[in-house]
């Protein structure tokens, strides 16, 4: 009986976490380049129930009744890397990635990666993310990784992701990175992720004058929200029922 | 559980703020020389699910904790040029800003070329602040007094005034610019002030057009679409907040 209570509670806790995941997706529904996450659940390992009521000779021996599952737990929260919708803009510093890959930006001494291509130009003339981290490129002459200088000039992006600046020609290639294992990525906030090791030579398709929206599906998330609520209700009902049964056992059967 | 309130709250705050920017853009849909806002979102830090008493398989699992609005930028896109025919009305087609002397002697910049000639014969903007003019030799402020019907300004901003038979070169209206999307910060009244690290220089990539004004660059279709998506996003976040509240309500009513 008590066991059943804990089984229902494991459901409640897991559903709370799923509610957090879904709410976070909804909060980021208009966030450029955001990738939705999904919480996966798995059941506890089965346990074998046994008693010692079987008499063999003059001894009680262990008697297996069968397996029992004691509830549910959170398996993992996985990010789902499907393509977001493209939005056309009029800004030359707006970029979007079609397919796999990430932009690379400098955050202190580290490289961080993002799908949010809403870039700007800072007052020193370099391409930055909207929070001010320098966007990195590869110098087409020296192959060195460096911030991209644009200045006041107009520029365009060619098929090899080279940045062709009016009056200066091609100086840098927009640096992009891909990863072998998308599951190992760490989300560090501000639309950035980190992971190791980056593959800088991967073929990444970048588009200019376009932004990538989030891949959150409103219908899906709201349906999940309703499902969570009802699921939670069911679990909560079961706890109440079990409480009533314990109550009966304690107060009514116990009465002499 | 308490956190789920704050995730939905962060979403509602962010979309509310976005709505404020959109509303401001729509309010300025016909303000001369207005530059619309460009504001994005950033996700917040993640938190681990590995807490005491939590049934969890993968201990590295994390949940995001919401969203915030990013930094605000002005969209530096040319507005439509509107034909007004006014002799003292100018539009900049290209890069740069006019400069005007504020009351405290500082200089502010504006794209609003709706100028007038004041009682002293000097060129002022619509707020009455004097426009920065590089006067030609032998000409100074108020000498000669400008007469708006006799003024003509060419594409480089050079001002000429017909004086009976002769045409006098009064000087030039300089146009300033700087590198960077945040080099000019709006301060209201269509004025901008340069950011601390902005390198102000004279623009070369512009035409001054007399008899025209630059309209606002707000794209009302885009603004309305943004408004709808932001409003819906706000609505969904409030729905998520309600569900979180329902869950908590159920927990409270368990006993």
Sign of CA dihedral A103, A106, A111, A113: negative
**What percentage of chain B's residues is helix, strand, coil (to nearest 5)?**
25, 35, 40
Give the residues across from B124 on adjacent strands.
B116, B130
The CA distance from B103 to the nearest CA of chain A, in Å, is 27
Which residues in chain A have Cβ-Cβ distances shorter than 8 Å to B70?
118, 130-131
Q: What's the CA gap between B70 and B85, in Å, rounded?
A: 41
Would you call B249 an interface residue with chain A, using a CB distance cutoff of 8 Å? no
* Contact between chains at B15 and A72 (C-beta distance less than 8 A): no
Residue A190 phi, psi (nearest 5): 55, 30
What is the per-residue pLDDT across A222-237, written as a single tens digit (0 to 9) for each? 999 999 999 999 999 9
Residue count (chain A): 256
Dump pLDDT digits (tens) for B195-242: 988 889 998 889 999 999 999 999 999 999 999 999 999 999 999 999
> The dihedral of CA A7, A13, A14, A16: what is its sign?
positive
**The predicted structure's pLDDT at residue B148:** 83
pLDDT tens digits, A41-71: 998 888 888 888 888 888 888 888 888 888 8
**Residue A65 near chain B (CB below 8 Å):** no
Asked if B57 lies within 8 A of A75 by C-beta distance, the reply is yes
Among B43, B195, B198, select the one facing A31 at the smallest CB separation. Answer: B43
Rounded distance between C-alpha atoms, residue A168 and residue A245, angstroms? 81
What pLDDT sits at residue A69? 86
From the list A90, A123, A130, the residue facing B40 with the nearest CB is A130
What per-residue confidence (pLDDT) applies to B27?
94
Interface predicted TM-score of the whole assembly (ipTM), two decimals: 0.85
- The alpha-carbon radius of gyration of chain B (Å, integer) is 26
Question: CA B5 to CA B88: how far, in whole Å?
Answer: 56
Contacts of B7 (CB under 8 A, 6+ apart): A20, A23, A24, A27, B64, B65, B66, B240
Question: What is the pLDDT, as a whole number, of residue A128?
Answer: 94
Position B228 scores a pLDDT of 95
**Calpha distance A96→A88 (Å, rounded):** 10
Residues of chain B found within 8 Å of residue A26, distances taken between Cβ atoms: 8, 11, 233, 236-237, 239-240
User: B43 and A19 in contact by Cβ < 8 A?
Assistant: no
Q: What pLDDT is recorded for position B1?
A: 55
Residues of chain B with pLDDT under 50: none
Whether B168 contacts chain A with CB within 8 A = no
Touching B: A residues 142-181, CB under 8 Å: 151-152
Residues 110 through 129 of chain A touching chain B, CB cutoff 8 Å: 116, 118, 120-125
Q: Is B232 on the interface with A (CB under 8 A)?
A: yes
Here the tokens at position B129 are: 């602040």
Please state, in angstroms and rounded to a whole number, the distance separating the CA atoms of residues B148 and B129.
16
Q: Write out pLDDT tens, residues B229-245.
A: 999 999 999 999 999 99
User: What is the reported pLDDT for A25?
Assistant: 95
Residue A102 buriedness (CB in 10 A; 0-12 / 13-18 / 19+): buried
Chain B residues with beta carbon closer than 8 angstroms to that of A148: none
- pLDDT at site A255: 66
203-222 of B, contacting A, C-beta below 8 A: 205
Structural contact between residues A11 and A235, judged by C-beta atoms closer than 8 angstroms: yes
Whether A30 and B41 lie within 8 Å, measured CB to CB = yes
Q: In this complex, do A123 and B65 lie within 8 Å of one another by their Cβ atoms?
A: no
DSSP character string of A75-88: EEEEE--PPPPEEE
Q: Report residue A197's pLDDT band, with 50, 70 and 90 as the boundaries.
A: confident
Q: B36: which 2 tokens?
A: 């619309």
For the record, the structure tokens of A243 come out as: 């409480």
* Nearest C-alpha neighbor of B33 from the set B152, B115, B132: B115
Interface touch A123/B179, C-beta < 8 Å: yes
Mean local confidence (pLDDT), A94-108 = 92
Q: Answer yes or no: is pLDDT of A141 > 80.
A: yes
Q: Closest Cα of chain A to B33: distance in Å?
A: 18
Chain A contact set for B245 (CB, 8 A): none
Strand-pairing partners, residue A177, are A102
Question: Is A99 at the interface with chain B, CB within 8 A?
Answer: no
Please name the residues in contact with B110: beta carbons below 8 A apart, sequence gap of 6 or more.
B33, B97, B98, B99, B100, B125, B190, B191, B192
Task: Please provide residue B177's backbone torsions phi and psi, each rounded to the nearest 5 degrees.
Answer: -150, 175
* C-beta atoms surrounding A45 within 10 Å: 9
pLDDT of residue A138: 92
> What is the per-residue pLDDT for B2?
67
Of the listed ranges A177-181, A200-204, B208-212, B215-219, the least confidently predicted one is A200-204
Q: Does B252 touch chain A (CB under 8 A)?
A: no
Nearest CB neighbour to A77, from listed B63, B244, B253: B63
- Which parts of chain A are beta strand (E)? 37-43, 47-56, 59-68, 72-79, 86-88, 94-98, 102-107, 110-114, 117-121, 127-129, 136-139, 145-147, 155-157, 162-165, 169-174, 176-177, 186-189, 192-194, 205-208, 210-212
Residue A254 has pLDDT above 90, yes or no: no
Is B181 in Cβ contact with A93 (below 8 Å)? yes
Q: Which residue of chain A comes nearest to B231, CA vs CA?
A: A30
Residues sharing a CB contact under 8 Å with residue B116, sequence separation 6 or more, in sequence order: B88, B123, B124, B125, B126, B148
Tell whether B19 lies on the interface with A, counting CB pairs under 8 A: no
């Amino acid at each position: 009986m008590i066991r059943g209570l804990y089984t229902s509670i494991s459901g409640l806790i897991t559903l709370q976490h799923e509610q957090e995941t879904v709410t976070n997706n909804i909060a980021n529904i208009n966030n450029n380049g955001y990738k939705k996450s999904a919480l996966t659940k798995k059941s506890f390992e089965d346990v074998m129930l046994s008693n010692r009521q079987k008499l063999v000779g003059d001894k009680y021996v262990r008697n297996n009744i069968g397996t029992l599952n004691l509830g549910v737990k959170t398996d993992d929260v996985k990010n789902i890397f499907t393509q977001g919708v493209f939005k056309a803009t009029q800004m030359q510093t707006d970029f979007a990635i079609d397919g796999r890959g990430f932009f690379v930006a400098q955050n202190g001494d580290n490289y961080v990666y993002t799908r949010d291509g809403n870039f700007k130009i800072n007052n020193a003339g370099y391409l930055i993310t909207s929070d001010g981290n320098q966007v990195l490129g590869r110098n087409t002459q020296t192959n060195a990784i460096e911030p991209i200088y644009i200045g006041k000039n107009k520029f365009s992006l060619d098929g090899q992701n080279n940045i062709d600046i009016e009056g200066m020609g091609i100086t840098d290639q927009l640096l992009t990175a891909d990863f072998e294992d998308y599951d190992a990525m760490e989300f560090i906030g501000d639309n950035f992720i980190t992971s190791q090791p980056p593959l800088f030579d991967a073929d990444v398709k970048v588009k200019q004058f376009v932004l990538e929206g989030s891949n959150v599906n409103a219908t899906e998330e709201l349906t999940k929200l309703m499902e969570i609520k009802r699921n939670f209700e069911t679990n909560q009902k079961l706890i109440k029922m079990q409480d009533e049964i314990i109550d009966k056992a304690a107060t009514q059967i116990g009465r002499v | 559980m308490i956190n789920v309130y704050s995730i939905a709250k962060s979403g509602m705050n962010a979309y509310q703020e976005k709505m404020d920017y959109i509303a401001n853009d729509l309010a300025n849909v016909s303000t001369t020389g207005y530059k619309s806002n460009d504001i994005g979102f950033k996700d917040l830090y993640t938190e681990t699910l590995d807490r005491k008493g939590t049934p969890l398989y993968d201990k590295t699992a994390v949940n995001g904790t919401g969203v915030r609005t990013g930094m605000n930028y002005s969209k530096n896109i040319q507005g439509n040029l509107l034909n007004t025919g006014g002799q003292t009305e100018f539009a900049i087609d290209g890069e740069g800003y006019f400069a005007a002397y504020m009351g405290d002697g500082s200089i502010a910049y504006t794209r609003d070329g709706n100028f007038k000639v004041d009682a002293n014969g000097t060129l002022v903007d619509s707020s009455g602040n004097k426009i920065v003019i590089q006067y030609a030799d032998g000409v100074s402020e108020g000498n000669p007094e400008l007469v708006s019907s006799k003024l003509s300004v060419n594409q480089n901003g050079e001002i000429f005034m017909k004086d009976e038979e002769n045409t006098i070169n009064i000087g030039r209206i300089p146009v300033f610019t700087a590198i960077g999307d945040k080099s000019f910060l709006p301060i209201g009244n269509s004025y901008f002030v340069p950011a601390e690290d902005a390198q102000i220089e004279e623009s070369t990539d512009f035409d001054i057009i007399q008899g025209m004004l630059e309209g606002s660059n707000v794209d009302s279709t885009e603004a309305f679409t943004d408004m709808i998506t932001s409003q819906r996003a706000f609505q969904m976040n409030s729905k998520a907040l309600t569900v979180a509240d329902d869950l908590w309500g159920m927990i409270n009513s368990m006993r």
